[in-house]
Structure 1
Amino acid sequence: MSHRNARLTVHGRRILVQRVQSGRPVAHVAAEMGISRPTAHKKIRPYRPQTNGKVERFNRTLPDEWAYLRPYTCNHERTTALADFLHTYNPHRCHTALGGLPPMSRVNNAAGQYT
């Protein structure tokens, strides 16, 4: 018997991402692809760093280091700058909360090599 998420191969993940990027909810796309995962939404109080600190900190960093760093002439330029910022932020930028390590150092199996 195969694992319930066996369809989530590299190719399957690409399809999932493409369908979700088209604006469809992840849960609907996953259900259509036969992917099941026991998940539930957890509601939190907005603007409450005690319960959602990492996201609140990231949301505070975005305007300072990306959105308002300089004026952009068009949306394409802003989107390109966001991709560059995220590439620097996740695998390269050192974070004091992680002892000077980048967030990517905390991710297990980033390349999908484990079974």
Structure 2
Amino acid sequence: DHTRLAYAEIHPDEKGPTAAGFLHRAADFFAAHGITRIERVLTDNAWCYRHSRDFAAALADLHARHKLIRPHCPWQNGKVERFNRTLATEWAYQQVFTTNTQRTHRLTPWLNYYNTQRPHTALDGHPPTSRLSPTS
């Protein structure tokens, strides 16, 4: 996770199949950027992570270990919480969207900016893609 490379999607629910599908697509995104092994997935204690067979199967498919943060301790997932704050201030509420569809269509371009151009303090002012190893 030293790159701060981010992947996000918008969904209408937090159900197991949705979370499992997201995890598979996230793994594909990271693989396309040269990150081919996900050792563990850290989540909060939402039902879709703790009790879903679909999510458990997705973890097994990736050979990834599931680690849960302690209940009511969001700081244990600090990098995600900080990303969510950046997402809110720089994308979701930065401009007025007249529809949710309009906002949704702006997510991918913003993520591209975040990953390829936006300076990060934790990365010495460089964007996340600057930390990726070249792939052949």
Q: Larger relative CO (CA 8 A, sep 6+): 1 or 2?
A: 2
In structure 2, the residue matched to 1:53 is 78
1:82 alignment partner, SS class: helix
Unaligned runs of 5+ in 2: 1-16, 25-53
In structure 2, the residue matched to 1:108 is 133
Q: Give the Cα–Cα distance (whole angstroms) in 1 for the partners of residues 69 and 19 of structure 2.
A: 23
Q: How many residues align?
A: 85
Which of structures 1 and 2 has the bigger CA Rg?
A: 1
Give the % identical residues.
45
TM-score for both structures, normalised by structure 1: 0.59
Higher normalized strand content (fraction of residues): 2
In structure 2, the residue matched to 1:38 is 63
Tell me the CA shift for residue 57 of structure 1.
0.9
In structure 2, the residue matched to 1:25 is 20
Tell me the CA shift for residue 105 of structure 1.
1.5
Query: Displaced runs of 4+ in structure 1, greater than 3 A?
Result: 26-29
The letter for the 1-side match of 2:116 is P
Q: Give the Cα–Cα distance (whole angstroms) in 2 for the partners of residues 24 and 42 of structure 1.
A: 15
The letter for the 1-side match of 2:132 is V
